[in-house]
């Protein structure tokens, strides 16, 4: 009995234990609720687990999806960021985080997450995605690394290898770039992109591996190279500075007896580039007979470049000068001017006129001078100087011409506005350096001459550089250069000595001044030597020179004299001299002030500071600036900043004084110290410089978050002009805050209409496929527009940007919609490809629309959608509104002919051609309509006009040639038509329709045997 009770008890305990195991735990309960779609309870349970410290993937990943389901993207991102920080090797978590970054347009975070995923889970797809994203974000370092790894995994992808090579070349790694290009070219069997070919060829030449290029060039050209391909590759070699290699490439093609003229001229051009002028002359002279109009200009240019002036003049005799391209004709005219060939100059002036000369005003001015027409010469010279598109030699020549014509002041002003670019010839460098020095533009000139010395050294470049370097460059470098130049003229030495003394370059000034004084001991050169001696701290030697100059000297001599006394410690003598000068009286306030600044002139800044500070505190104004300047030079910036801060703290300081001191504090104390003042001024003013200065300070200090906050706040200030708020939106874009920029632009665009600048910028930011929120905004603007025209414009933009379905759904249901709204509806239907609905809408609109532009657009859209009936109705409606509309007449005529309504086609096409000559198609089909109606005599004039118009076309494709053949046949020129059809048949031997048309023409003319041959009928 006891045993039975024991068994029952054990069974009962086992059942209780098992039941406890079946009770769901916290995590299982949350998962069960998640699967049962009880999201609220599941979220509460997962969040409770997070609070209890459970941050495992089993908790984080479901909770992230719950946040996403409820639209809390940023919260989901923050949760995943914390998770991957704790579990850096969790690939699934990082992949989900990358997708969230991408959806949230956080491109920088997306890029870094992709980099980490590539490290954790390397593969070709991840490296390719990383390279594409890095390229979009302009991160070439990351892009190169990703492409390198991708190319190692996918050696078959030659396109990406070419992209990698281009990036490496831009970054200066030409050798590695070449290696990748060689591999890509080999794998592609020579079928790489043209720009990759150009880069490969350039790299091989730069690395002196030209011989390796030839097998590849030959592979690119193939066994039977086209002439244009040969010329193209030869041009690349010539552009890379290797015309000799280019000649080697084209010589085999030139050796054939029937080498085209264009190829022969290219060979002559390469001979000139390679310095083989005599051979080029021989080949030019060997050309027989007159050339075609298209190559006359090139021939003349080559003759001029080869020094064959007489043959060049002969080549244009009896020819229309306008057949010669402008650049070749300009060279011919310049040579005629140098030779004073008055007859040719008169001929050019008469035949070419102002239209030709407008693009080359210097040439025009010289021609006018040669013809003694000073008024015209002045007009042309002024145009040359004022035109920024003129080359630098011409602009400087224009300056010289203005000076020659008595307009010196204008010449100097124009030089000050001149933007130097490109290459200035050596013969202009002396004048250019003189202009830089005389007009106080030495730093700009020195930078230019430094580059010129490196790129193209010459004596003129050296002297120009020396003049300007003495003013603003390295004195030691100029001194070393001076020692190597024993034969310099007085002017160069004077300029160097004066500039060096002015800047305190003692050794340079002394050397130059000593040499020029030894050559010519004039008062000017004596003063230069004295100034140099003072700069060299040799006042005892300078004083005798200055004493000799003092009686007839001026302010400069007196200042130097006082400086010499001060340097020698002869204070009493200096004081006595200045006291005597003051005692004599008659000094102006400016002269007294000059004495007060004597210490400053001798660079005794520290000694002058107490006096200057006292005056600055009492008088402000110029004394404040004088004190600030002296304090900076004396190294007393802290004292200056303290004074400025104290004065800025004074509430009684007027706005002008506050701004003045704020600028000085920014200059003296830097952006960090001036930031609080700048912030107060910027936030308290709607205009003035403070906004820009505050932003510049934040940028320099690297305080990006504060800058973004300030920009957002300022852009939201409705008191600011719209243009300034728009510029702030652009600044937010530069700060990678695209959402804020979009909000600013939306606030500006609201109510302005679909053509506003703000909306155009929004459309650019959204791209061709705006997000749904953007389409919602556009649709809201359309609905809120106050007029039907305004609504129509917004709906048109909505359709254009991918919201065509929204437009059709809205407007198709709007019964009795105003006429302007029909246009966007029709545009939307066309965009969706709904041909039947489009036709119905066009017909309905054409019945009531009277605006010609809208009707024309409806007709074109219907025609593009192959709705001919609707197109006809729209064209007829347009014709009713504008009876003589040329396009409507033409289109109705062509449509009527296509549908064999010959009488109607004739009527419309006759009306169209009554307005003018028309085009060859209109003339041809009117002729065809008349011919079909057995009125061949009436059709003949239209066929002849069509033939003339075809002949005048700049290029004629196969379809045009076939039409020409048909016209020739209609005009009875059957043999000419046959010849043209035969030419087309050789070009398109497999074109059955062409054969049929050809055979039909032959049969029509009774030439049955030839028709059988064309159709291959026995």
Give the model's pLDDT for residue 923. 92
- In angstroms, rounded to a whole number, what is the distance separating the alpha carbons of residues 824 and 798? 9
Closest CA to 196 of 210, 216, 212: 216
Indicate the angle between helix axes 555-567 and 539-549, nearest 10 degrees.
Answer: 150
SS3 387: coil
Give the model's pLDDT for residue 765. 76
- Region 229-254 average pLDDT: 74
- In angstroms, rounded to a whole number, what is the distance separating the alpha carbons of residues 266 and 969? 40
SS3 146: helix
* Range of 168-172, 224-228, 287-291, 607-611 with top mean pLDDT: 168-172
Instruction: Give the number of other CB atoms < 10 A from CB of residue 208.
Output: 8
- Region 155-165 average pLDDT: 80
- Region 290-318 average pLDDT: 77
What tokens does 619 get? Answer: 């008088």
Cα angle, residue 1008 at apex, residues 1007 and 1009 outer, rounded to 5°? 95
- In angstroms, rounded to a whole number, what is the distance separating the alpha carbons of residues 82 and 67? 15
Residue 627 and residue 639 in contact, taking contact as beta carbons nearer than 8 Å? no
250-261: per-residue pLDDT in tens?
A: 787 777 777 787
416-472: per-residue pLDDT in tens?
A: 777 776 667 777 777 778 777 766 677 877 877 887 888 778 877 787 888 888 888
- Region 770-792 average pLDDT: 75
Give the model's pLDDT for residue 687. 65
What tokens does 639 get? Answer: 């004292």
The separation between CA 505 and the C-alpha centre of its own chain, rounded to angstroms, equals 43
Q: What is the DSSP letter of 23?
A: S
* DSSP H/E element including 936: helix 936-952
- Region 71-78 average pLDDT: 80
What tokens does 376 get? Answer: 């015209």
Report CA torsion sign: 870, 874, 880, 885. negative
Closest CA to 147 of 189, 118, 120: 118
What pTM value is reported for the model?
A: 0.35
Instruction: Give the number of other CB atoms < 10 A from CB of residue 682.
Output: 20
Please provide the average confidence, as pLDDT, over all residues in the chain: 77
186-229: per-residue pLDDT in tens?
A: 787 767 876 787 777 777 777 777 667 767 776 776 656 677 76
What tokens does 1011 get? Answer: 């028709």
- Region 664-669 average pLDDT: 70
- In angstroms, rounded to a whole number, what is the distance separating the alpha carbons of residues 622 and 619? 8
Between 480 and 69, the more confident residue is 480
Query: Which residue has 């000076």 as its token pair?
Result: 403
Length of the chain: 1018
- In angstroms, rounded to a whole number, what is the distance separating the alpha carbons of residues 48 and 632? 64
What tokens does 671 get? Answer: 């952006």
What tokens does 1 get? Answer: 């009995």
Residue 578 scores a pLDDT above 70 = no
Residue 24 scores a pLDDT above 60 = no
CA distances in angstroms from 592 to 360, 586, 597, 712, 933, listed in the order given: 56, 10, 9, 53, 108
């Amino acid at each position: 009995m006891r045993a039975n009770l024991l068994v029952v008890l054990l069974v009962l305990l086992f059942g209780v234990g098992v039941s406890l195991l079946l009770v769901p735990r916290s995590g299982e309960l949350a998962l069960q609720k998640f699967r049962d779609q009880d999201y609220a309870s599941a979220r509460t349970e997962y969040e409770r687990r997070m609070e209890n410290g459970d941050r495992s993937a089993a908790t984080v990943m479901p909770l992230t999806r719950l946040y996403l389901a409820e639209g809390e993207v940023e919260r989901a991102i923050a949760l995943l960021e914390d998770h991957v920080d704790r579990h850096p090797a969790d690939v699934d978590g990082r992949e989900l985080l990358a997708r969230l970054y991408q959806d949230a347009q956080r491109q920088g975070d997306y890029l870094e997450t992709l980099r980490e995923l590539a490290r954790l889970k390397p593969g070709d797809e991840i490296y390719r995605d990383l390279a594409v994203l890095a390229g979009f974000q302009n991160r070439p370092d990351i892009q190169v690394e990703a492409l390198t790894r991708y190319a190692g995994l996918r050696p078959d992808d030659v396109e990406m290898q070419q992209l990698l090579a281009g990036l490496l070349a831009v970054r200066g790694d030409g050798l590695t770039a070449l290696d990748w290009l060689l591999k890509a070219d080999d794998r592609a069997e020579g079928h790489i992109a043209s720009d990759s070919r150009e880069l490969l060829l350039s790299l091989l030449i730069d690395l002196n591996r030209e011989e390796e290029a030839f097998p590849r060039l030959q592979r690119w050209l193939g066994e039977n190279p086209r002439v244009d391909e040969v010329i193209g590759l030869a041009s690349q070699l010539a552009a890379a500075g290797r015309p000799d290699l280019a000649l080697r490439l084209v010589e085999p093609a030139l050796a054939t007896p029937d080498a085209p003229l264009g190829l022969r001229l290219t060979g002559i051009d390469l001979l000139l580039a390679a310095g083989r002028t005599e051979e080029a002359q021989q080949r030019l002279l060997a050309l027989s007979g007159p050339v075609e109009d298209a190559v006359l200009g090139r021939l003349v240019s080559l003759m001029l470049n080869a020094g064959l002036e007489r043959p060049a003049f002969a080549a244009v005799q009896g020819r229309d000068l306008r057949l010669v391209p402008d650049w070749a004709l300009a060279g011919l005219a310049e040579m005629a001017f140098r030779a004073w060939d008055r007859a040719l100059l008169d001929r050019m002036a008469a035949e070419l006129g102002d239209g030709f000369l407008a693009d080359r005003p210097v040439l025009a001015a010289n021609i006018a001078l040669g013809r003694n027409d000073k008024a015209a010469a002045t007009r042309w010279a002024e145009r040359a100087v004022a035109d920024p598109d003129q080359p630098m030699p011409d602009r400087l020549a224009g300056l010289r011409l203005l000076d020659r014509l008595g307009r010196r002041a204008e010449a100097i002003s124009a030089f000050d506005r001149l933007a130097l670019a490109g290459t200035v010839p050596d013969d202009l460098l002396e004048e250019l350096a003189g202009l830089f020095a005389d007009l106080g533009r030495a730093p700009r000139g020195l930078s230019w001459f430094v580059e010129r010395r490196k790129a193209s050294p010459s004596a003129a470049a050296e002297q120009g550089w020396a003049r300007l370097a003495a003013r603003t460059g390295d004195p030691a470098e100029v001194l070393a250069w001076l020692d190597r130049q024993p034969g310099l003229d007085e002017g160069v030495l004077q300029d160097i000595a004066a500039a060096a003394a002015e800047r305190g370059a003692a050794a340079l000034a002394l050397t130059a001044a000593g040499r020029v004084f030894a050559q010519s001991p004039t008062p000017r050169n004596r003063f230069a030597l004295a100034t140099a001696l003072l700069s060299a701290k040799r006042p005892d030697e300078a004083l005798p020179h200055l004493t000799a100059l003092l009686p007839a000297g001026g302010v400069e001599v007196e200042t130097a004299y006082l400086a010499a006394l001060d340097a020698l410690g002869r204070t009493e003598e200096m004081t006595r001299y200045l006291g005597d000068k003051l005692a004599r009286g008659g000094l102006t306030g400016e002269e007294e002030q000059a004495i007060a600044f004597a210490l400053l002139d001798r660079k005794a800044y520290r000694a002058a500071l107490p006096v200057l500070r006292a005056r600055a505190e009492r008088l402000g104004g110029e004394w404040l600036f004088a004190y600030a300047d002296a304090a900076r030079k004396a190294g007393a910036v802290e004292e200056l900043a303290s004074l400025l801060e104290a004065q800025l703290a004074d509430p009684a300081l007027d706005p002008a004084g506050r701004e003045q001191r704020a600028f000085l504090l920014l200059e003296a104390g830097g952006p960090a110290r001036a930031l609080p003042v700048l912030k107060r001024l910027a936030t308290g003013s709607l205009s003035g410089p403070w906004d820009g200065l505050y932003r510049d300070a934040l940028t320099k200090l690297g305080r990006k978050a504060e800058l973004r906050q300030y920009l957002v706040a300022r852009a939201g200030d409705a008191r600011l002009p719209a243009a300034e708020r728009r510029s702030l939106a652009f600044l937010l874009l530069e700060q990678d805050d695209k959402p804020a920029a979009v909000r600013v632009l939306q606030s500006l665009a609201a109510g302005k209409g679909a053509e506003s600048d703000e909306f155009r910028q929004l459309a650019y930011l959204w791209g061709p496929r705006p997000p749904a929120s953007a389409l919602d905004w556009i649709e809201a603007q359309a609905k809120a527009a106050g007029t039907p025209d305004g609504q129509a414009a917004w709906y048109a933009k909505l359709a254009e940007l991918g919201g065509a379905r929204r437009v059709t759904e809205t407007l198709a249901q709007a019964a009795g919609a105003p006429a302007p709204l029909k246009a966007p509806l029709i545009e939307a239907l066309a965009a969706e490809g709904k041909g039947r609905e489009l036709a119905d809408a066009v017909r309905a609109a054409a019945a009531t629309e009277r605006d010609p532009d809208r009707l024309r657009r409806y007709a074109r859209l219907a025609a593009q959608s192959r709705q001919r009936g609707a197109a006809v109705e729209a064209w007829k409606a347009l014709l009713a509104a504008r009876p003589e509309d040329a396009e409507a007449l033409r289109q109705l005529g062509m449509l009527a002919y296509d549908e064999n309504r010959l009488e109607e086609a004739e009527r419309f096409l006759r009306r169209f051609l009554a307005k003018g000559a028309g085009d060859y198609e209109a003339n041809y089909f009117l002729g065809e309509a008349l011919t079909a109606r057995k009125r061949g005599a009436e059709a003949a004039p239209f066929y002849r006009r069509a033939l003339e118009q075809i002949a005048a076309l700049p290029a004629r494709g196969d379809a045009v040639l076939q039409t020409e053949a048909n016209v020739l046949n209609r005009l009875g020129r059957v043999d000419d038509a046959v010849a043209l059809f035969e030419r087309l048949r050789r070009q398109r031997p497999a074109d059955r329709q062409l054969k049929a048309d050809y055979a039909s023409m032959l049969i029509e003319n009774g030439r049955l045997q030839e028709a059988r041959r064309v159709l291959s009928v026995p």
